[in-house]
Chain A
Amino acid sequence: MNAAMWRTTGRDAEKRGQEAPDTKRLLLVWVPLVAVVTVMCSVCLLFNAPPSPLRSALVKRADAVFGSWYSQSWNLFGPQVPEGTWEVELRARFAHRQGEPDTREWDLTEETHPSGGARLLHQSKEGHMLNCFVEYALGARPGTDPDEDTSLRMLRTKCRDDFVSPGARTPSAPMWDRYFSAHARELARDRAGDTRRIEAVRVRLRIREVPPFEERHTGQPPAAEPPAAVHDMHDTGWHAYVPVAAR
Chain B
Amino acid sequence: MTAANGAKGVRAPKGARAVEGVRAVECARAAGGVRALSFRFAARRHRLVGLAALRLVLGLAALEFYVTEYGRRHLLWGPEGYVPLDTFRGTVPLWSTSVYAWGGSPAYFETVHHLGILVAAAFCVCGGRALTLLHGVFLWSVQLRGGQVLDHGHVLARLLLLFLLFATCDAYLSPWASARRARLRARACRGSWNVFRNAVHNCAVFLMVFQVCAVYFFAGLWKLLGPRWRDGTAFYYVVRSLEAPPVALMTGLASVVWITVLVTYATVGLQVAFPVLAASGHRGVRQATALGATAMHLGIVPLAGLLHSSLVMIAADCLLLRDSDYRAAADAAAGVTAGAAAGAAARAPRRFRTEGRWAVRGRRRSCTMDPCPDVRPPAAPAGTRHPAVPPTRRHPAPADSPPATESAADGSTQERPLPPRPSG
Chain A: residues with CB nearer than 8 A to chain B? Answer: 1-2, 4-6, 8-12, 25-26, 29-30, 33, 36-37, 40-41, 44-45, 48, 68-72, 74-86, 109-110, 113-116, 119-129, 132, 154, 157-160, 162-163, 168, 171-172, 174-175, 178-179, 182, 210-211, 213, 216-217, 222, 244-247
Q: Can you spell out 17 A-B residue pairs with CB atoms less than 8 angstroms apart?
A: A8-B42, A11-B35, A69-B162, A72-B156, A74-B215, A75-B219, A79-B224, A81-B226, A82-B238, A85-B243, A109-B244, A157-B150, A159-B148, A168-B91, A171-B87, A171-B90, A211-B240
Query: By the criterion CB–CB under 8 Å, are A81 and B91 in contact?
Result: no
Query: By the criterion CB–CB under 8 Å, are B222 and A124 in contact?
Result: no
From residue B182, how far is it (CB to closest CB) to chain A in Å?
14
**A9-B378, A128-B148, A213-B233 are known contacts. Are A71 and B244 too (CB-CB below 8 A)?**
no
Contact for A244 among B80, B93, B147, B191, CB less than 8 A: B80
A182 and B190 alpha carbons, distance in the complex (Å): 61
**A113-B243, A128-B151 are known contacts. Are A81 and B238 too (CB-CB below 8 A)?**
yes
1/0 contact string of B76-97 vs chain A (CB within 8 Å): 1011111110010011111000
Query: By the criterion CB–CB under 8 Å, are A162 and B93 in contact?
Result: yes
Query: By the criterion CB–CB under 8 Å, are B234 and A77 in contact?
Result: yes
**Which of B152, B190, B207 has its CB near the most chain A CB atoms (within 10 A)?**
B152
**A5-B189, A85-B241, A245-B80 are known contacts. Are A123 and B307 too (CB-CB below 8 A)?**
yes
5 pairs of A and B residues whose beta carbons are closest in the complex:
A75-B222, A79-B226, A11-B378, A78-B223, A246-B74
Total of A-B residue pairs, C-beta within 8 Å: 241
From residue A130, how far is it (CB to closest CB) to chain B in Å?
9
A105 and B158 alpha carbons, distance in the complex (Å): 39
Query: By the criterion CB–CB under 8 Å, are B87 and A80 in contact?
Result: no
Check B155 for interface membership: any CB of A closer than 8 A. Answer: yes
Chain B residues, Cβ within 8 Å of A211: 240
1/0 contact string of B370-393 vs chain A (CB within 8 Å): 001011101100000000000000
B window 216-256: CB within 8 A of A: 218-219, 222-229, 233-234, 236-238, 240-244, 246, 255
**Chain B interface mostly helix, strand, loop or mixed?**
helix
Chain A residues, Cβ within 8 Å of B150: 128, 157-160
A113 and B242 alpha carbons, distance in the complex (Å): 11
Chain B residues, Cβ within 8 Å of A213: 233, 236-237, 260
A137 and B195 alpha carbons, distance in the complex (Å): 54
Chain A residues, Cβ within 8 Å of B306: 123
**Which of A4, A160, A171, A217 has its CB near the most chain B CB atoms (within 10 A)?**
A160
Query: By the criterion CB–CB under 8 Å, are B241 and A81 in contact?
Result: yes
Which of B10-18, B282-290, B297-305, B351-359 is found at the contact surface with chain A?
B297-305
Query: By the criterion CB–CB under 8 Å, are A124 and B218 in contact?
Result: no
Query: By the criterion CB–CB under 8 Å, are A86 and B203 in contact?
Result: no
Report the nearest A residue to B381, measured CB to CB: A11
Chain A residues, Cβ within 8 Å of B64: 123
Contact-residue bracket for chain B = 35 or more
Query: By the criterion CB–CB under 8 Å, are A44 and B210 in contact?
Result: yes
A174 and B210 alpha carbons, distance in the complex (Å): 40
Report the nearest B residue to A228, measured CB to CB: B240
1/0 contact string of B42-85 vs chain A (CB within 8 Å): 11000000000000000000001000110010111011111110
Report the nearest A residue to B76, measured CB to CB: A125
Query: By the criterion CB–CB under 8 Å, are B82 and A179 in contact?
Result: yes
A41 and B307 alpha carbons, distance in the complex (Å): 28
Check B102 for interface membership: any CB of A closer than 8 A. Answer: no
A36 and B188 alpha carbons, distance in the complex (Å): 24
Query: By the criterion CB–CB under 8 Å, are B148 and A109 in contact?
Result: no
